[in-house]
Structure 1
Amino acid sequence: MVLKNGTLITFLAMAAGVAGGVSGCPGSGSTPTTPTGCADVEVVFARGSGELPGLGITGGPFVSSLKANLPGKTVTSYAVNYAADIAQTSAGAGATDMTRHVTSVAAKCPNTDFVLGGYSQGASVTDIAIGIPTLLGRGETIPTNLAPRVAAVVVFGNPLALYGQHIPTASKLYGSKAREYCALGDPVCAGGVNGAAHLTYASSGMTTQGAVFAAGKVTGT
């Protein structure tokens, strides 16, 4: 995928020098659940290219904000287990992991709702998992019968925009409960030339905005 000012791969390799130095959540990224083992809401989030395993620089603040916006509800999180490689070849495998995790938890916890999300290549993971074809890989998709259990889909810096597509219009199942955030000048989603913009989703308040949106979908407000 070639941008006007170079390749997406080259840009993400540069960005990873910053993102990779920020520690993510260890292991699966899961947080303690209720005594029954099932939460009211499970956030399943895929980090960006080059980030350390965990929720990443965008997913961490998003989950924290969502918890703050859902008082009285138990909210757990799962960091998608995938390579998040700079070569952009792992989104398909990430989608498969996201799909299998949602399917597994849904079977064990019939009252748990899900919030799906991703940042950068992690947004592509989410695209594939909800059934939107991309040029960044193929993977398993969430069974359509589980779509009602997904309360919201929130992504940041989604490369899908470079193909002229957006989740709200590209997905019949999830479009009405999806929100995309793209920083002005971000070359990964806006075709811009400001590489630093791709790293600003938490500091700009967009993760907070996304959490407010997702909380509203969870509560139906």
Structure 2
Amino acid sequence: MAVASVLAIAALPVIVPTAGSQSCPDIDVVFARGTAESPGVGGVGQRFVDSLRAQAFPRTVGVHGVNYPASDNFTGGTVFKLNIVEGVRDEANHVRGVVSVCPNTKLVLGGYSQGAVVTALATSGVVPTGIARGAAPLPLPAGVADNVAAVVLFGTPAGWSATKYGAADIDVGPAYASKALEFCAPGDAVCSGTVPTQDHGPHQQYGVNGMADRAATFAMGRLAELKPESPAS
């Protein structure tokens, strides 16, 4: 329980700085946790953040755990889909806020399982079927993609496991595709879309199978490719 409490505190989202407040981070990680994980970035997200921070030092890394229910009510129909929409809206709003207030901060977007759906839809602008136009979040402005260095997704639902989300395509948007990397562990039926199985082990191992560390290395590579901003004259 003590370990869980420490992780929960470490995963608390960082508030986007406002003019005159704390300085903007060099890198801001926006991560959507998986189904039924406690609020914050979740276990996979925390491993990714810890690895990225270690590799990015001495650059500063802010963290925002996407605020949404991460519900396990998979048979809830529109109610379940609205949970996803809530996550897409929170992620998009946070990204817009960072770009507006901290234009030199580079963003890294991520998600695990259900959270991977949230992040993918946030970048693509796709809305689940049956969601009223007024309930749909505004898509990210085209220029925001320039501030996003990398997108990393773990165990993104496909095939049978994707149907409950009501989105024909759970893919990263075209503006983000060249900077995205998706991980699907061997034997993970959720992201492979193969016949459902009672063995959920492979789907639950992203925090310990080395893929979160590989994702952090990928993100650091993407960050290194970006040209530094010219100092203000």
TM-score by length of 1: 0.80
The aligned residue for residue 231 of structure 2 is none
Secondary structure of the residue that 2:50 maps to in structure 1? helix
Q: Is the CA contact 1:22–1:52 (under 8 Å) kept in the aligned structure 2?
A: no
The runs of 4+ residues in structure 1 deviating greater than 6 Å are: none
The aligned residue for residue 39 of structure 2 is 53
Of structures 1 and 2, the larger Rg is shown by: 2
Q: Select the residue among 146, 152, 158 that pairs with 2:150.
A: 152
Counterpart amino acid of 1:182? C
The aligned residue for residue 131 of structure 1 is 124
Secondary structure of the residue that 1:212 maps to in structure 2? helix
Counterpart amino acid of 1:49? T
- Structure 1 residue 106 and structure 2 residue 99: aligned? yes
State the alpha-carbon separation in 2 of the partners of residues 160 and 143 from structure 1: 27
The aligned residue for residue 216 of structure 1 is 221
TM-score by length of 2: 0.76
Q: Is the CA contact 2:109–2:119 (under 8 Å) kept in the aligned structure 1?
A: yes
The aligned residue for residue 171 of structure 1 is 173
The aligned residue for residue 96 of structure 1 is 89
Q: Select the residue among 191, 197, 206 that pairs with 1:201.
A: 206
The aligned residue for residue 8 of structure 1 is none
Q: CA RMSD in A?
A: 2.7
How far residue 191 of structure 1 moved from its aligned partner, in angstroms, is 2.6
Q: Is the CA contact 1:44–1:114 (under 8 Å) kept in the aligned structure 2?
A: yes
Q: Select the residue among 39, 54, 58 that pairs with 2:25.
A: 39
How far residue 198 of structure 1 moved from its aligned partner, in angstroms, is 0.8
State the alpha-carbon separation in 2 of the partners of residues 63 and 161 from structure 1: 29
Q: Is the CA contact 2:85–2:127 (under 8 Å) kept in the aligned structure 1?
A: no
Q: Select the residue among 10, 14, 30 that pairs with 1:30.
A: 14
Q: May I ask how many residue pairs the two structures share in their alignment? A: 198
Counterpart amino acid of 1:67? R
- Structure 1 residue 117 and structure 2 residue 94: aligned? no
The percent identity for this pair of structures is: 38
